[in-house]
């Protein structure tokens, strides 16, 4: 009997499989090189909370319990304490993750879409189209976005869709400007010029030639904007003009906590920690992506 320390594969196929797995692991390791582990883990946790909130949360987030108000965190019952209406803070935190993640992702999606289209059109068509679109973009950039957001939600009524619309339509400018810069650089390149010379329409050039080459920047921007979107949503909720009650939002939890700041420390502190961690994770992931997706490498 052989005394090998390594288990030999039994046959040719097993050897090939083993190689394939090793190669896959190697690729995974390469893809995630230098990744901010804590941030990615936290983002995953937030995503899981967002998707499976009712299954994970120990208590109902909206059932009030007047006999149980403002209880300090204790390990047996309410892990993170209760709020001013007796609701379990941990459960509200988990459901609040749903709000933040959903609104964050969808509003960034909206902003990215609008911004990408405007950036592409501006960069490819240039000329007066570019000038008008950029003037339009500058106009939006000059708006005090929080003030406008508050007014818009106040007028449209507070609902999840309105908040998403408002945040999305006030954050597209960053995408438009940066992507336009990228597009302008790409348009000068030979492969685009050749396509134009071959008679490709501007639209075709935008979609087939330029867009695939800006996906890296787009992804980095989207990740960084996610953090900002979460903060804007929390700010809107904090001022009472975010998602409608009693839907839990980390921002409105902080708003409620203001009145009880002399009585409880956990109520004002804990939702804020959640917001900070989520935004930090998004920012660190964005930074990592920006370094990883260096323009000298292949696009994602």
Which residues of the shown chain bind other proteins in the complex (CB under 8 A)? 135-136, 138-139, 142-148, 150-152, 154-156, 227, 231, 234-235, 238-241, 251, 254, 257-258, 261-262, 265, 268-269, 272, 275-277, 279-280, 283-284
Closest approach, Cβ 11 to other proteins, in A, equals 51
Nearest to 81 by CA among 248, 271, 276, 279: 271
| Cα distances (Å, whole numbers) of residue 252 to 84, 99, 217, 275 | 12, 11, 33, 12
Closer residue to other proteins, CB minimum distance, 31 or 143: 143
Closest approach, Cβ 192 to other proteins, in A, equals 23
Cβ-count burial 91-120 (b if 16+ within 10 Å, e if not): bbbbbbbbbbbbbbbbbbebbbebbbbbbb
Contact yes or no for 62/297 (Cβ under 8 A)? no
Closest approach, Cβ 264 to other proteins, in A, equals 10
Closer residue to other proteins, CB minimum distance, 205 or 248: 248
Burial bucket for residue 291 (CB in 10 Å: 0-12, 13-18, 19+):
exposed
Closest approach, Cβ 12 to other proteins, in A, equals 50
Closest approach, Cβ 112 to other proteins, in A, equals 20
Closer residue to other proteins, CB minimum distance, 21 or 269: 269
Closer residue to other proteins, CB minimum distance, 86 or 240: 240
Could you tell me how many helices (H) and strands (E) the chain has, helices first? 12, 0
Closer residue to other proteins, CB minimum distance, 104 or 251: 251
């Amino acid at each position: 009997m052989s005394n090998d320390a390594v288990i030999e594969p039994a046959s040719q196929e097993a050897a090939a499989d083993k190689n394939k797995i090793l190669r896959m692991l190697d690729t995974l390791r390469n893809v995630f090189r230098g990744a901010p582990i804590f941030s990615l883990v936290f983002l995953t946790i937030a995503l899981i909370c967002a998707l499976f909130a009712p299954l994970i949360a120990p208590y109902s987030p909206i059932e009030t319990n007047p006999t149980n108000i403002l209880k300090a965190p204790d390990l047996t019952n309410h892990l993170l304490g209760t709020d001013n209406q007796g609701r379990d803070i941990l459960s509200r935190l988990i459901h609040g993750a749903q709000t933040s993640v959903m609104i964050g992702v969808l509003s960034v999606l909206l902003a990215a879409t609008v911004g990408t289209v405007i950036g592409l059109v501006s960069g490819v068509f240039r000329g007066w189209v570019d000038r008008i679109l950029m003037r339009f973009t500058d106009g939006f950039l000059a708006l005090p976005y929080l003030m406008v957001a508050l007014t818009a939600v106040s007028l449209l009524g507070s609902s999840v869709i309105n908040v998403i619309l408002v945040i999305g339509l006030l954050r597209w400018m960053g995408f438009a400007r940066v992507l336009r810069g990228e597009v302008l650089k790409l348009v000068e390149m030979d492969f685009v010029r050749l396509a134009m010379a071959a008679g490709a329409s501007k639209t075709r050039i935008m979609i087939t030639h330029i867009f695939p080459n800006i996906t890296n920047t787009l992804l980095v921007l989207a990740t960084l904007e996610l953090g900002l979107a979460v903060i804007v949503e929390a700010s809107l909720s904090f001022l009472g003009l975010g998602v409608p009650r009693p839907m839990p939002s980390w921002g409105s939890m902080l708003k409620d906590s203001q009145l009880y700041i002399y009585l409880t420390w956990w109520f004002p502190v804990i939702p804020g920690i959640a917001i900070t961690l989520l935004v930090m994770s998004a920012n660190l992931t964005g930074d990592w992506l920006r370094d990883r997706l260096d323009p000298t490498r292949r696009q994602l």
